[in-house]
Amino acid sequence: MIHESNELNQIDLANGLYLSKGAITRAVKKLEDNGWIVREKSSVDKRSFVLKLSKQGEDFIPVMFEINEKWEDSMGLDKLDSNFLETFNMLALKSIDLNLEKNKKEGY
């Protein structure tokens, strides 16, 4: 997600990945400490920060895509019907939404 956006902040990342703000804060700190991302002042709101890939992070994107493609091939995902994949993705997102609603009601 970070490599696809120019103005992604931690809240947007948490919402996009369906993770808690605390989990994102810990992950961002670790990624920043290891040189994968940097935090920069937002050009839209100078009070907030956005996440950007570092040079190291940018250089890793093609490697990550290659790893992902090999995994998809080994899993046979290229042989699945596109309608099936679309339905599967829709159901997975619906399941995430339902779990988030349940967790909110239960105070998690």
User: What is the Cα–Cα distance from 58 to 3, expressed in whole angstroms?
Assistant: 8
User: What is the Cα–Cα distance from 57 to 47, expressed in whole angstroms?
Assistant: 25
Q: Give the per-residue pLDDT at 108.
A: 64
| Model pTM score | 0.69
pLDDT digits (tens, 9 = 90+) for 16-67: 888 888 899 999 999 999 999 999 998 888 888 999 999 999 999 999 999 9
Query: Percentage helix, strand, coil, to 5, in the chain?
Result: 65, 10, 25
The CATH code of domain 2-61 reads 1.10.10.10
In whole angstroms, how far apart are CA 28 and each of 12, 33, 41, 44, 91? 13, 8, 15, 21, 28
Domain boundaries, the chain: 2-61, 76-108
